[in-house]
Amino acid sequence: MSIVPKSAASGARGALAPLARALHAAGVSANTVTFAGFVLTVAGGIVLASDQPGAALLLLLVGTLADTLDGSVARIAGGGTKLGAFLDSTFDRLSDSALTVGALVVGIAHADALLLWSAIVALVSGSLVPYVRAKAESLGLAASVGLAPREARLALQVLGVAAWAVTGSLLLFASAMAVVALLSTITAIQRIAHVARALRNT
């Protein structure tokens, strides 16, 4: 069970298909799109940490778009490569950490306990979610289950930044991070339980 319906995910990919085709036609590779998304998202995390939610939001929106586009560009190019999959997964982890660390720095700067602890929990549990999946796959098991996939958690974080930028209320951003922390923790527990049951049955 996921908070993101499969129809919504496929609909988003369909909406981005024309842009992906245009990038492919222009000779832009999926790896280039992946790297661009990584750089923009990390820059967004740094700008966020400097207390500039408006500028951070712009960088994060473009970075997240690139992060979503790379898979579509790879499919249009005839399928991704092992290197591309490796880079995509690695840069995703770094991008997620940069955004969450940016929130952590803001929490420290504003002495906001909710934002500070939410960012810490989100950082730990958010790292655990893909690790459990990767470890399970190394054991020959699938573990892509869970309430909140990465795309949902990332969208909530960006929405939190947008709410802060538009209203000036840090509480809205802290609340969004608290939701992300909760969903990340639930998803990690779900994946651990799923793998444990599968291993008991083997």
Active site residue 67: no
Size (the chain), residues: 202
Domain 6-200 in this protein, CATH class = mainly alpha
How do the domains of the chain map onto residue ranges? 6-200
Residue 134 DSSP class: H
Q: How far apart are the first and last CA of the chain?
A: 23
Q: Between 82-109 and 113-138, two packed helices, what is the crossing angle to 10 degrees? A: 160
In what helix (H) or strand (E) does residue 106 lie, and over which residues does it extend?
Answer: helix 82-109
| Per-residue confidence (pLDDT) for residue 124, from 0 to 100 | 96
| Per-residue confidence (pLDDT) for residue 202, from 0 to 100 | 75
pLDDT tens-digit readout, 96-150: 999 999 999 999 999 999 999 999 999 999 999 999 999 999 999 998 999 999 9
pTM: 0.90
| Per-residue confidence (pLDDT) for residue 1, from 0 to 100 | 67
| Per-residue confidence (pLDDT) for residue 10, from 0 to 100 | 64
Q: Select which of 67, 70, 88, 92 is catalytic.
A: 92
| Per-residue confidence (pLDDT) for residue 7, from 0 to 100 | 62
- The stretches in the chain having pLDDT less than 50 are none
